Amino acid sequence: MKTMLSIISNALCRMTGRNAGAQTVSEGARVVVSRSFADFTPQATFDIKKCDLHQLEEGPPLKAELTRDQGLQYYRTMQTVRRMELKADQLYKQKIIRGFCHLYDGQEACAAGIEASINPTDHLITAYRAHGYTYTRGVSIKEILAELTGRKGGVAKGKGGSMHMYAPHFYGGNGIVGAQVPLGAGIALACQYQGNNQLCVTLYGDGAANQGQLFESFNMAALWKLPCIFICENNKYGMGTSVERASASIDYYKRGDFIPGIRVDGMDVLCVREATKFAADHCRSGKGPIVMELQTYRYHGHSMSDPGVSYRTREEIQEVRTKSDPISMLKERMLSNNMASVEEFKEIDVDIRKQVEEAAQFATIGSRAAAGGSLQPHLLQQPAAGGPRDEPLVQTQVCQLDLNPNLQIHSDPDR
């Protein structure tokens, strides 16, 4: 028996890159090889894909440094978003989640990479595929899933649903195609006006890229040199229409014309991180706005009402999963450079599944949001007037809408 354990131990050590002298513990029929943090590579440098440039002489670097802690954090973030979205899919099919629901699985590198390269005090606004950004901006899984199920424990008290979630420095979740872009430019104007060295990341999809209000926003942002990163998440399809059928030019990073632009591999979290760092430095240096195009892919259909296979093949989806999945790509990089072990990733996966299951339970047993009444006021947190940043925050009520069931709204074109 001891000889057999020794053979298995040596085999496991070769697989994990550890010397045979590693401590081995037998637990019944299971053999566990313990490894200390000193066994892992603490930092590595990776080649990343070159970005396409517009109106720029130099772009983001072609190499990216990654520490072990950063890698594990990015993996946990992306895997959490993935599991959360798959749980939302399940709850929707069980008719526990109703109404609009746009899932983000496949695009996790975009949200994780952007958040890794901006400050918590920077601002972000996006369209209605917002669950991933809601999480990366600091909202818990429980609050997100509870919002999807219309419970009071949701981040918007169950009254916003899939498309309308908010957090400090996160402005949603917007249901009108492209409407968040001028709002993002306005947030960037506020940053410039206040002189706080903050910026606004303004996201939209390829389906919104032909909206007139985008170009009006580009024009004003360029004239006033606003600190705004306009990001087009190009997932190849606007609803069920491919970009080739919808746009005369699919070079979305060039759409700003007079605004510099970069096209980025949106399936690689390191590419996204380095490109967003570059864009943020551009904005903070007073050079004005920049346009980024993140080439990415969604695994689900446009929304839960779209099976997603009438305008593309299952083989196409599977090919992207096999060759370009953002989570698998990061995992393989870390494993091949001895930055983590297979067992460590499994432990993270188990922990995430547990958290998502607990959040799903919370989202299905809580009290439902009451019909009618007043919407919970949206609160903007800001420092006390004249006080230092570390003083208690004052909450300023922005708006409150009274939902009077007897209220009649008249449309008068002459008013």
Helices 342-365 and 141-148 cross at an angle (nearest 10°) of: 40
Of 152 and 398, more confident: 152
The phi, psi pair for 380, rounded to 5°, reads -105, 120
pLDDT at 366: 78
* Structure tokens given for 335: 């494993």
Condensed to tens digits (0 to 9), the pLDDT of residues 214-247 reads: 999 999 999 999 999 999 999 999 999 999 999 9
The answer to whether 131 and 84 are in contact (CB under 8 A) is yes
Question: What residues does each domain of the chain span?
Answer: 43-56+65-305+330-364
For Cα atoms 168, 177, 235, give the angle at the middle one, nearest 5 degrees.
90
Q: What is the rounded distance in angstroms from the CA atom of residue 284 to the CA atom of residue 192?
A: 10
Q: What band does 370 get if pLDDT is binned at 50, 70 and 90? A: confident
Q: pTM of the full predicted structure?
A: 0.83
Q: Which residues pair with 176 in a beta bridge?
A: none
Of 6 and 173, more confident: 173
User: Locate tokens 């499994």: which residue?
Assistant: 346
With a cut of 90, say whether residue 8 has pLDDT above it: no
CB atoms closer than 10 angstroms to residue 195: 7
Among 244, 251, 257, CA closest to 216: 257
Q: Provide mean pLDDT across the span 205-210.
A: 96
Distance, C-alpha 110 to centroid of its chain: 5
Q: What is the rounded distance in angstroms from the CA atom of residue 382 to the CA atom of residue 95?
A: 39
The answer to whether 144 and 131 are in contact (CB under 8 A) is yes
Distance, C-alpha 146 to centroid of its chain: 19
The answer to whether 225 and 97 are in contact (CB under 8 A) is no
Q: Which secondary-structure segment (H or E) carries 330?
A: helix 326-336
pLDDT at 389: 41
User: Locate tokens 């999963």: which residue?
Assistant: 321
Q: Provide mean pLDDT across the span 2-28.
A: 42
Among 143, 159, 70, 166, CA closest to 378: 166
Q: What band does 343 get if pLDDT is binned at 50, 70 and 90? A: very high
With a cut of 80, say whether residue 202 has pLDDT above it: yes
Among 129, 142, 145, CA closest to 96: 145
C-alpha to C-alpha distances, 336 to 19, 215, 328, nearest whole angstrom? 17, 44, 12
On the 0-12 / 13-18 / 19+ scale of CB atoms within 10 A, 311 is middle
Q: What is the rounded distance in angstroms from the CA atom of residue 50 to the CA atom of residue 63?
A: 9
Q: Looking at 257-392, which runs of residues are DSSP E strands?
A: 261-265, 290-295, 373-374, 378-383
Q: Which residues pair with 264 in a beta bridge?
A: 294
Q: What band does 372 get if pLDDT is binned at 50, 70 and 90? A: low
pLDDT at 31: 41
The answer to whether 96 and 145 are in contact (CB under 8 A) is no
Fold of 43-56+65-305+330-364: Rossmann fold (3.40.50)
Q: What is the rounded distance in angstroms from the CA atom of residue 267 to the CA atom of residue 29?
A: 40
Among 171, 169, 180, 291, CA closest to 228: 291
The phi, psi pair for 170, rounded to 5°, reads -130, 120
Characterise 116 by phi-psi region: left (phi > 0), alpha (psi -120 to 50), beta (else): alpha
The answer to whether 107 and 269 are in contact (CB under 8 A) is no
pLDDT at 373: 57
On the 0-12 / 13-18 / 19+ scale of CB atoms within 10 A, 264 is buried
